[in-house]
Amino acid sequence: MKGKLKRIYLLIAVGLMGTLTAQKRFEDFSISMPEQKLDKSYYKTIKLIDARIDTTSLGIVQKGAFNAKAKVVPATSLANQFQNLLNHINGDQTENGTIVMYLKQLYFAELTGAFSEHGYCYFQAYLFAKNDDDTYTYLSEMDSVIDHSSMDVTKAVMKKGSEMISNFISKNISVKAQATDYYTFDDLKNFDNIEKQKLSLYNSTELTNGFYKDFNSFKNQNPEKEITNVTFSTPEKITKIYGIVNLIYIYYICKKNI
């Protein structure tokens, strides 16, 4: 009897440990290093301004045969990974410049279908180059989504996400920034708010009714065709269309978050 009780207690303990482990599943993310070095680079140091809403993880992926959810949490901080990447790709002809990455989005997600999985990586970031007077100048930006489908998508989408980040940095450190604007480091910390002040979407007291072909025309309040007079046979149609338009506004604002 005692032996049976011990086995029961052991099974319960193993079950509890398994539950606790499942609740604490994590997946590491590390940027893979390119094989080739750059012939010329103007920047030796990269600083990170992490402006993501959630800085505790990089999204959620699915692990194992039962697609258990796991948070993507890098074992090495993103700031250190970006610097390690820069150190790795810089060749002998590297100047002593500094760039700053304003990271707005870096997020992984997965959806499971009947016969395949879709993995997504959303990356949005801005690069700024430091000037001799300690101001900063806009260098480049990227706003892109990777959509990858396969039977086991986690490793593949993380690899593609890593390559996207690596290519973005590699492509721009061999280019000198054109000094057309100047920001302080405090300005860069509030870059999102500064950019919002330039948009008609946030500064207009009343939005312009019309058809917008893309988000740029919407944020600048420049419709392809304005709507001035609309006639409906029943009030219910007005309410329905007004609701759809508002949902489109909210969708674009949330998607771009600019």
| 125 contacts 104 by C-beta, under 8 angstroms | yes
C-alpha atoms less than 13 angstroms from C-alpha of 126 in its C-beta half-sphere: 17
CA 53, 49, 55, 170 torsion-angle sign: positive
Which residues, listed in sequence order, are joined to residue 103 by a DSSP beta bridge?
50, 125
Residues 52, 119: one domain?
yes
| pTM recorded for the entire structure | 0.73
Whether residue 12 is contained in a domain is answered as no
Which of 118, 150, 183 marks a domain boundary? 183
pLDDT for the residue 90: 94
Q: Which amino acid is at 86?
A: L
Maximum mean pLDDT: which of 71-80, 185-194, 237-246: 71-80
Give the mean model confidence (pLDDT) for residues 102-126: 87
The verdict on 49 and 175 lying in the same domain is yes
pLDDT score of 20? 37
Do 161 and 84 sit in the same domain of this protein?
A: yes
- Band of the pLDDT at 234, cuts 50, 70, 90? low
- Tell me the per-residue pLDDT of 184-202, one tens digit each, with 9 for 90 and over: 999 999 998 887 777 777 7
**Chosen domain end from 183, 215, 247:** 183
> If you write DSSP's letter for every residue of 164-211 in order, what string do you get?
HHHHHHHHHTTSPPP-S--B-HHHHHTHHHHHHTT-HHHH-SSPPPEE
Number of domains in the chain: 2
For range 123-138, the mean pLDDT:
95
**What pLDDT score does 31 carry?**
92
Same domain for 132 and 53, yes or no, is yes
- Is pLDDT above 70 for 135? yes
Same domain for 241 and 140: no
Same domain, 97 and 217: no
At how many degrees (to 10) do helices 154-172 and 78-89 cross? 60
Task: Give the per-residue pLDDT at 235.
Answer: 53
What integer is the mean pLDDT of 72-85? 95
The range of the structural domain enclosing residue 236 comes to: 199-256
SS3 137: strand
Residues 101 and 227 in one domain: no
Q: Which pLDDT belongs to residue 83?
A: 97
pLDDT at 64: 66
Predicted pLDDT of residue 230: 62
Residues 214, 113 within the same domain: no
Tell whether 170 and 205 lie within a shared domain. Answer: no
Q: Measured on CA atoms in the order 46, 50, 52, 54, is the torsion positive or negative?
A: positive
Does some domain include residue 75?
yes
**Same domain as 132, residue 93:** yes
Given 148, 183, 218, the domain boundary residue is 183
Give the pLDDT score at 142.
94
